[in-house]
């Protein structure tokens, strides 16, 4: 892989534990980000950490994270100097049950991105970001809604985080039992975990048929 | 509700946005915590926020969060003064599609707990915590594994966070469309999201039948 195909490794993106699970290839990082829509946004307030769930979208090598103009993290990011953040996306794929309690694990894909977030103020970029936020969870949806009007745009804060100091971690394997535990009379294996989208439930005021992008 | 039935409200646990979605009743907070097993642990390192996914367990009004002794957050919590943390648990229940982009939302249940985490050093408490961590995702499992030996216990760090400054937030509703948007020709409604556990996949070295706690 050439350098441009991977995110640079920094002290913050080289994990102290399970280094073999870490990946910096942009393709792998982006694949995890594209499979999710919910992130956990971390920031520091009065010296203490705060972690809030919110939605995000990836556009190229940039993350957009959704908020409201009145909310605490967004007020911080509105500052010219931006706000130090950590954006983490985690997808669980399975519970890994080993014969020993110690070797129990979770199959997962996660991305941790560090950096400085800035509030999106450019009108054109805000439009791109808002569409991307809608399409991240439901691809195609942004073309089939009433777009935000001026009042709504003013009430929505979106912050931008350039993907620069970022890494993914992936565990996708069976139970890693010790040699001496293999014959113990306990069940070992993986319980798959998936996120399932159920049949869409139309609102009473919906009169149009289910759009193609919501089928299947 | 009496005071003892709710967690105290503090500036950190009264949200600036969607205050009507916030709940402090212990029963409601605990119900969200008991439905999950994955949390996002936030802490501050060199002045910047770090958010890492890990597993947790609730025991009474206490959270135990899993780590490894060599990992960064655990080294911080091993200090006598503990480590400022924010533990956030988020369960997604649905994607809410409104007729306007602005009113799109997510149905979710989340808990945010602030406080100081301490590493569990008491041998008895560590046993309770390790069992709880295994049972949180798979109730009953801790009685059907080889318990951690001395070496494994020494390699596992568990931190304790007392549930004190904590709140839950819940959105469980349909599309909240504006009156003037109701007749727009777009589909509105909810796409349910659920976490599904698939059929357990036994490891090649598993010779015992599927235990009762893994059926169904």
B70, pLDDT greater than 90: no
- For residues A73 and A118, the model is more confident at A118
A2, pLDDT greater than 90: no
B195 with A110: Cβ contact below 8 A: no
For residue A92, what is the nearest residue in chain B, using CA coordinates?
B38
B208, pLDDT greater than 50: yes
Instruction: Give A135-194 pLDDT, tens digit per residue.
Output: 999 999 999 999 999 999 999 999 999 999 999 999 999 999 999 999 999 999 999 999
Instruction: Give B178-204 pLDDT, tens digit per residue.
Output: 999 999 999 999 999 999 999 999 999
> Which chain A residues are closer than 8 Å to B206 by Cβ?
187-189
Residue B207 structure tokens: 């010779």
Determine the pLDDT at residue A4.
82
Share of chain B above pLDDT 70, in %: 95
ipTM of the complex: 0.95
Share of chain A above pLDDT 70, in %: 95
Report, as an integer, the average pLDDT of B64-68.
Answer: 86
Determine the pLDDT at residue A6.
93
Determine the pLDDT at residue A69.
59
Determine the pLDDT at residue A1.
46
The CATH class of the B3-214 domain is mainly beta
Q: What is the CATH number of domain A3-176+209-214?
A: 2.30.110.10
> Which chain B residues are closer than 8 Å to A47 by Cβ?
44, 84
Tell me the nearest-neighbour CA distance from A51 into chain B, angstroms.
Answer: 6
Tell me the nearest-neighbour CA distance from B75 into chain A, angstroms.
Answer: 11
A64, pLDDT greater than 90: yes
Determine the pLDDT at residue B1.
46
A68, pLDDT greater than 70: no
Average pLDDT, chain A: 93
In this structure, how many other beta carbons lie within 10 angstroms of the beta carbon of residue B132?
A: 19
Q: How far apart are CA B101 and CA A142, in angstroms?
A: 7
B152, pLDDT greater than 90: yes
Q: How far apart are CA B48 and CA B54, in angstroms?
A: 19
Determine the pLDDT at residue A56.
98
Of A85, A100, A152, the CB nearest to B49: A85
A188 with B203: Cβ contact below 8 A: yes
B144, pLDDT greater than 60: yes
Share of chain B above pLDDT 90, in %: 84
Average pLDDT, chain B: 93
Which contiguous run of DSSP H or E holds residue A37? none
Tell me the nearest-neighbour CA distance from A135 into chain B, angstroms.
Answer: 10
* A48 band by pLDDT with thresholds 50, 70 and 90: very high
Q: Which of A48, A92, A49, A85 is nearest to A67 (CA)?
A: A85
Share of chain A above pLDDT 90, in %: 84
Report, as an integer, the average pLDDT of B130-139.
Answer: 97
B165, pLDDT greater than 60: yes
* A89 band by pLDDT with thresholds 50, 70 and 90: very high
Determine the pLDDT at residue A73.
67
Report, as an integer, the average pLDDT of B11-38.
Answer: 91
CA dihedral angle for residue B21, residue B2, residue B161, residue B28, rounded to 10 degrees: -40
Determine the pLDDT at residue A26.
96
Q: Which of A115, A83, A88, A84 is nearest to A8 (CA)?
A: A115
> Which chain B residues are closer than 8 Å to A142 by Cβ?
101
Q: Which residues have C-beta within 8 Å of that of residue A87, sequence separation ≥ 6?
A: A39, A40, A41, A42, A56, A63, A65, A112, A113, A117, A161, B51
Q: Are A162 and A61 in contact (CB under 8 A)?
A: yes
Determine the pLDDT at residue A72.
67
Determine the pLDDT at residue A3.
66
Lowest mean pLDDT among A78-87, A198-207, B85-94: A78-87
Report, as an integer, the average pLDDT of A81-103.
Answer: 97
Instruction: Give B78-127 pLDDT, tens digit per residue.
Output: 777 899 999 999 999 999 999 999 999 999 999 999 999 999 999 999 99
Determine the pLDDT at residue B205.
94
């Amino acid at each position: 892989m050439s350098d441009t195909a991977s995110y640079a490794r920094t002290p913050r993106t080289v994990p102290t534990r399970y280094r073999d699970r870490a990946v910096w290839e942009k393709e792998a990082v982006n694949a995890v980000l594209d499979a999710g829509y919910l992130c956990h946004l971390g920031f520091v307030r009065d010296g203490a950490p705060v972690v809030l769930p919110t939605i995000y979208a990836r556009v190229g090598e940039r993350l957009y994270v959704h908020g409201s103009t009145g909310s605490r993290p967004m007020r911080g990011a509105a500052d010219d100097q931006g706000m130090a953040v950590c954006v983490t996306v985690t997808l669980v794929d399975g519970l890994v049950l080993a014969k020993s309690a110690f070797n129990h694990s979770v199959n997962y894909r996660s991305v941790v991105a560090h950096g400085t977030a800035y509030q999106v103020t450019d009108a054109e970029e805000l439009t791109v970001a808002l569409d991307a936020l809608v399409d991240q969870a439901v691809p195609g949806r942004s073309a089939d809604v009433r777009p935000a009007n001026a009042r709504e745009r003013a009430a929505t804060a979106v912050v931008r985080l350039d993907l620069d100091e970022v890494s993914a971690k992936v565990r996708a394997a069976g139970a890693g039992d010790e040699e001496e535990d293999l014959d113990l009379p306990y069940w070992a294996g993986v319980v798959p975990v998936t996120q399932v989208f159920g049949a869409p439930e139309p609102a009473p005021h919906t009169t149009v048929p289910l759009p193609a992008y919501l089928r299947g």
